[in-house]
């Protein structure tokens, strides 16, 4: 069986996108892992799946699988690519698209030629809902990691995030602390871990060690979580440019009770077919 796919990226965070409205394919962990292999498969950080919605007021259903085969709730860079994909494939003619995800509805708006604005929804701060083990909600928590104590903010953007403030992302211990914090016992479902350097109140630099994928060139939900963490700690303004290794996103968060809005590019790399 031949399956058509599109290779895309959002600031270097790369995806294979499958249209499973006009095609059929059964996905399981092992099949996703084979497709993700950069030597014997397509190669990607995440696999994005376009399906028909299950709810009448939604335009599409959006599913995300990490390279390790695990299905996750949300991916901001993927959401921008999703919007570009369904538009380019003429699966919709709408400029704003209502999309069903595992964490609830999101709304995607095309901005110019290749940018997409995503209403990412309201950040979740309650530890139980992230999920994160804590006695009470706080703007930051102290975690014991081997022989050191790490201060971390905890936010869900539909998927769990921990955010550390560092002096320099270039010197940050991403390779060492990323895996330890990702699977820390206080994150029962693991977490994406962001290392944030504050340049000034409107600009940050960020590296993210993603759950199930390792460090990626960009993480949209991670950028949102970092800005929320910085705002809660009164370190950032409401509009922030986030410089990731793969490029720049703009994040706007007016504050508690308001949705986080992310704007950034989505790029098609190539089209292909693979034998399953």
Q: Which residues are catalytic?
A: 75, 219
Q: Where are the chain's structural domains?
A: 2-120+265-275, 127-258
Average pLDDT over residues 87-105: 94
pLDDT in tens, 241-264: 999 999 999 999 999 999 999 999
Name the CATH architecture for the domain at 2-120+265-275.
Roll (3.10)
pLDDT in tens, 216-232: 899 999 999 999 999 99
- Superfamily (CATH) of domain 127-258: Diaminopimelate Epimerase; Chain A, domain 1 (3.10.310.10)
CA 135 to chain centre: 27
Angstrom distance (rounded) from CA 43 to CA 38: 4
Same topology, domains 2-120+265-275 and 127-258? Answer is: yes
pLDDT in tens, 130-153: 999 999 999 999 999 988 999 999
- How high is the pLDDT of residue 57? 96
- List the beta strands (DSSP E) in 166-222: 192-200, 203-210, 214-216
Using DSSP, how many helices (H) and how many strands (E) does the chain show?
4, 18
């Amino acid at each position: 069986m031949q399956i058509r796919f599109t290779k895309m990226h959002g600031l270097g965070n790369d995806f294979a996108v499958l249209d499973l409205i006009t095609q059929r394919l059964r996905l399981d962990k092992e099949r996703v892992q084979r497709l993700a292999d950069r030597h014997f498969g397509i190669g990607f950080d995440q696999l994005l799946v376009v399906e028909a919605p299950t709810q009448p007021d939604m335009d599409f259903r959006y599913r995300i699988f990490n390279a390790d085969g695990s299905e996750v709730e949300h991916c901001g860079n993927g959401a921008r690519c999703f919007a570009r994909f369904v538009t380019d494939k003429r699966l919709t003619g709408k400029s704003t698209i209502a999309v069903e995800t595992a964490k609830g509805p999101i709304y995607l708006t095309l901005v110019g030629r290749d940018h997409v604005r995503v209403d990412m929804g309201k950040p979740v701060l309650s530890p139980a809902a992230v999920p994160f083990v804590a006695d009470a909600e706080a703007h930051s928590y102290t975690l014991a990691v081997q022989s050191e104590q790490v201060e971390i903010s905890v936010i869900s953007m539909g998927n769990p995030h921990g955010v550390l403030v560092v002096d320099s992302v270039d010197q940050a211990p991403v390779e060492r602390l990323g895996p330890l914090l990702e699977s820390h016992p206080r994150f029962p479902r693991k977490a994406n871990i962001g290392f944030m350097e504050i340049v000034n109140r409107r600009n940050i630099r960020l590296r993210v060690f993603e759950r199930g994928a390792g460090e990626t060139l960009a993480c949209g939900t991670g950028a949102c979580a970092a800005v929320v963490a910085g705002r809660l700690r009164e370190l950032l303004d409401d509009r922030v440019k986030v410089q990731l290794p793969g490029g720049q996103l703009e994040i706007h968060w007016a504050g508690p009770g308001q949705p986080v809005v992310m704007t950034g590019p989505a790029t098609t790399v190539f089209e292909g077919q693979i034998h399953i």
